[in-house]
Amino acid sequence: MNDRLKKTRDLQPLLDKIELNALQSLACPSRAAVRRHPENRSDNEYRQAFSQDADRILNSLAFTRYIDKTQVFSLIQNDHLTHRVLHVQLLSRVARTIGRHLRLNQDLIEAAALGHDIGHPPFGHDGERFLSRLTHAHQAGYFHHNVQSIQFLDKIERHGSGWNLSLQTLDAMLCHDGETHVRKLFPHGPRRFDDLDTMIQRFLETEQIGFSPMTLEGCVVRMADTISYIGRDLEDGIRLGLITREQIPDTCRHILGTTNGTIVFNLVTDLIATSLDQPFIGFSDEVADALETLKAFNYRYIYKNPAIKQHLGTINTIYAHLFHQYLTDLEKDRASSVIFTQFLSGLSDTYRDTHSLPQIVRDFISGMTDSYFIRQAPVHLRPHPVDHV
């Protein structure tokens, strides 16, 4: 390594010093990052720890598969509907904006935002429920996409060695929960990897459970998750003719607005104003009430709308078929099966030795994109996209 590149080694301590002066007292500095496996710093490594995490997640194979994962609407031929990859980008942007104005660590926020939904299986939350029934029935625990995000990045990527992400990033990913309505979120405080592993085990044993993140940055990601999807899903629902803008409840119209841009701006503004110089991340009571009303409205008229659920019976059948097929292939050691050729091939012996056959099937299916999942199904079960609902 020449002298010119070696000079970059001095940049990280300088950035750490600048960061400490810029961050508020309750923020998580990059030098506090903890990894499960200590790493030797190379001569030219100038990135801070959470910046490294974000780069590793962005360059993972699992991140690449975001591009063909359902957010809310699936099998509808409309290029302007939100997919999982766009939701992740929106969340990252919203959360970093909040973090900047609250003087929190934006690198930690970005890393957690980029990785938080990587474990989502094909066809969104419906697919998650179908897969969870199967994993639980086969003694592989309940399926939770946040747990699976850590599974991919910690135990499957890089041939089973994982990306060795920081505890703070993994904790924020595990504790994100944009579905549960929360007015104020206080960070839990310091944790260890033993605590993280215990929390993961609790998720596997429990159908409905949640934890508060250990950092304020993790709290921001969790609250911003809702902000980034609530108005966007509303716009998609209007675009598909499921609802009209005039149907938006009056309290939401007056307090939050009627367009995604206005809703996001008002939610972000209120969250920043309410959380400034506070030990929590939260909304004012008025805005929290309006957000809860809007979320209930979306659930009734969009998320639970039968018009967008017409393929679910078929998707459920495909989940059951593929799970049984791959489990049988593993039991009979059918080396020609795609679970061997396109998943287990190249994975370390450690992965195989530490995972049961149902867990291996879980990991393979949950990593599939929507289109790959459909291609694996028998021809007679494959649903066809529609132009409208």
Query: Token pair of 188, please?
Result: 């839990």
The helix (H) or strand (E) run that includes residue 376 is: helix 370-376
When pLDDT is averaged across residues 170-179 and rounded to a whole number, the result is 91
Q: What angle do CA 157, 163, 169 make, to 5 degrees?
A: 120
Instruction: Let me know: does 221 contact 113? Beta carbons within 8 Å.
Output: yes
**H or E segment to which residue 184 belongs:** strand 184-185
The pLDDT of 302-330, averaged and rounded, is 95
Distances (CA, A) of 206 to 138, 184, 203, 361: 15, 24, 5, 20
Q: What is the pLDDT of residue 3?
A: 65
Residue 2 confidence (pLDDT): 64
Q: Read off the amino acid at residue 283.
A: F
- Of the two residues 221 and 309, the one the predictor is more confident about is 221
Lowest mean pLDDT among 100-104, 115-119, 276-280, 308-312: 308-312
In angstroms, rounded to a whole number, what is the distance separating the alpha carbons of residues 256 and 288? 10
Q: What is the pLDDT of residues 260-308, one digit of tens each?
A: 999 999 999 999 999 999 999 999 999 999 999 999 999 999 999 999 9
Kindly report the pTM of this predicted structure.
0.95
Q: What is the pLDDT of residues 135-164, one digit of tens each?
A: 999 999 999 999 999 999 999 999 999 999
Average pLDDT over residues 19-39: 94
* pLDDT reading at 9 higher than 80: no
Q: Terminal CA-to-CA distance of the chain, rounded, Å?
A: 59
